[in-house]
Amino acid sequence: MTAKIIDGIAVAAEIRAECRAEVERIRLQHDIVPGLAVILVGSNPASQVYVRNKMRACENVGIRSFRFDYPASVDPESVIDKIEQLNEDPEVHGILVQLPLPPTFDLARILHTISADKDVDGFHLYNVGGLVVGGTVFPPCTPYGVLRLLQHEGIQLEGKNVVVVGASNIVGKPMALMLMQQEATVCICHAKTRDLAQFTILADVLVVAAGHPNLILPQMVRTGAVVIDVGINRLSNGKLVGDVDFVGVAQKASHITPVPGGVGPMTVSMLLVNTVAACERVRQQLLRHNSKSPQLETVAE
Ligand code: NAP
């Protein structure tokens, strides 16, 4: 079997075209432009590239973006103050703090300062809790992108054995919860999992987000499995690879995502989706509020 290569660039481009149309509709019908604020602390080169790509993607679909750069030595309280200001700013519908932050920062405090209504990265406790009990406003972008890729390929998840390798708060755990919501039977593996292959071989759908090149070899994959490689690793020769032995596993899988060109472009597209959704949500809340106000006045009279 030779796997179908899932083209994340093409699917991400389709989603961006939908976003562009929705941004235009909101602008024309309601005179509102969705806005995303991006905070970058320090000079991590990878983070700078990610932030630049996110801002470019915003521009490309008509989302207004606001960038705030701080040196790594900044007092975390200044960043907290900025987030609180942005929470109140009506032109800003989404707020993103680029990770990782310098060690002087209390990550949980930063993430929970962002209003849940503007948490377009989906890392606020409210949104994380919503993945467990339902009611998430903004699903975290990378797992959301994986789900959209699976849906785009018409891959049914109900009743399927899904194995997620990696249990981080930003990828593995939310991914597993989102797949459970799709009624898959989900198994989560992590660095302490003994004999990873005994789990991965059972997967109808295997999602890998561990950050180790060649972690998944062909003998660990069931023939016909769908393999989603979230990993991004830079080799010493400068080459970018995922966590899966792409060439070997592609001979056994039914579908596989490449790196680059698989999950990566989807992550940025889902950030745009969440930002447009945040804007539309505020607009609808205002509409409800305004339509209720006269009634309240009547009652008060
Ligand atoms: P992370 O915070 O370092 O978490 C890695 C997870 O993988 C941890 O749960 C860890 O287990 C587990 N793990 C590590 N080695 C393992 C092994 N040998 N076997 C099984 N599990 C193992 O990383 P992350 O932020 O989740 O990111 C994971 C990868 O995805 C990275 O390569 C990152 O660059 C990439 N990524 C890509 C995108 C994208 O848009 N494509 C977005 C985000 C991240 P423990 O919990 O036991 O330590």
Question: Which of 117, 119, 121, 204 does the annotation list as catalytic?
Answer: 121
Average pLDDT in the chain: 95
The protein residue whose alpha carbon is closest to atom 48 in ligand 1 is 191
Predicted confidence at residue 299, as pLDDT, reads 40
| 10-residue averages of pLDDT along the chain (301 residues) | 95 98 97 98 95 97 98 98 98 98 97 97 95 94 98 98 98 98 98 98 98 98 98 96 98 98 97 98 89 54 36
Token output for 111: 């993430």
Residue 103 near residue 74 (C-beta atoms within 8 A): no
- Asked about 69 being catalytic, the answer comes back as no
C-alpha of residue 263 to centroid of ligand 1, in Å: 14
Reading across the β-sheet that carries 205-208, which strands appear in turn?
4-5, 255-256, 226-229, 205-208, 161-165, 185-189
Predicted confidence at residue 301, as pLDDT, reads 36
Q: Rounded to two decimals, what is the model's pTM?
A: 0.95
Question: Which of 82, 98, 118, 119 does the annotation list as catalytic?
Answer: 98
Q: Which atom of ligand 1 is nearest to the CA of 171?
A: 26
Question: Which of 54, 82, 118, 252 does the annotation list as catalytic?
Answer: 54
The protein residue whose alpha carbon is closest to atom 34 in ligand 1 is 232
How many other C-beta atoms are found inside a 10 Å radius of the C-beta of residue 59?
11
Predicted confidence at residue 296, as pLDDT, reads 45
- Asked about 98 being catalytic, the answer comes back as yes
* CA 161 to mean position of chain CA atoms: 23
For 246, counting Cβ atoms within 10 Å of its Cβ (0-12 exposed, 13-18 middle, 19+ buried), the class is buried
- Which of 141, 146, 208, 230 should be mutated for ligand 1, with most atoms under 8 A from CB? 230
- Asked about 31 being catalytic, the answer comes back as no
- Ligand 1 pocket, CB under 6 A: 142, 165-168, 170-172, 189-193, 196, 209-212, 215, 230-233, 263-264, 267
Predicted confidence at residue 289, as pLDDT, reads 86
C-alpha of residue 168 to centroid of ligand 1, in Å: 6
Token output for 30: 């309601």
Non-local CB neighbours of 145 within 8 Å, separated by 6+ positions: 8, 12, 263, 266, 267, 269, 270
Q: Which atom of ligand 1 is nearest to the CA of 172?
A: 26
Give the tens place of pLDDT for each residue, 111-126: 999 999 999 999 999 9
Token output for 203: 């997967």
